[in-house]
Structure 1
């Protein structure tokens, strides 16, 4: 399983460990991913996702999963998140009609 946030697209970064003698060795910085169940108001159910803690904060800031998915671009979202967004849009269109 890749270490990439399903909502924000945040992934690993590469850098150096720097010793006291200024020796540099390669290392990776991994995002803080959590397995969470986010509640969708439009769908009326929980959706399990692997999300970074930064992603969780932005979802809460935007007022929930549905609002976040409607605002997010396709380039950031994973395939499963795009599928959930499509379901949310469809459900909201049914309610509006």
Structure 2
């Protein structure tokens, strides 16, 4: 399982651990990933995703999973999230048509 957020695309970064003597050694900065269950209002079901704490705050700020996915860029989303975005768009289009 990769260390990448399924909604924001945030991944591992690299940098230096700097000692008091200014000696630099390589280190990794891991994203704060959390397994969460988010509810889609349009699909009326729960979806399990592995997202960063930052993305979870963004989902709440934008008004839920459906609104977040509607605004999200496709290149940031995982294949699972892309499929979810397509399903939500299809369900919203069918609801609007009827």
Q: Is 2:22 the partner of 1:50?
A: no
CA–CA distance in structure 2, aligned partners of residues 75 and 84 of structure 1:
14
CA RMSD of aligned residues (A): 0.4
CA–CA distance in structure 1, aligned partners of residues 73 and 22 of structure 2:
41
TM-score normalised over the length of structure 2: 0.98
Aligned-partner SS, 1:9:
coil
TM-score normalised over the length of structure 1: 0.99
Q: Is 2:16 the partner of 1:16?
A: yes
Unaligned runs of 5+ in 1: none
CA–CA distance in structure 2, aligned partners of residues 19 and 88 of structure 1:
49
Aligned-partner SS, 1:39:
strand
Alignment of 1:1-97 (within 5 A): 1-97=1-97
- Aligned-residue offset at 1:12: 0.5
Aligned-partner SS, 2:48:
strand
CA–CA distance in structure 2, aligned partners of residues 22 and 93 of structure 1:
58
Aligned length: 97
- Aligned-residue offset at 1:7: 0.2
Aligned-partner SS, 2:42:
coil
Unaligned runs of 5+ in 2: none
Question: Deviation digits for residues 60-97 of structure 1, max 9, x if unmatched?
Answer: 00000000000001111000000000000010011001
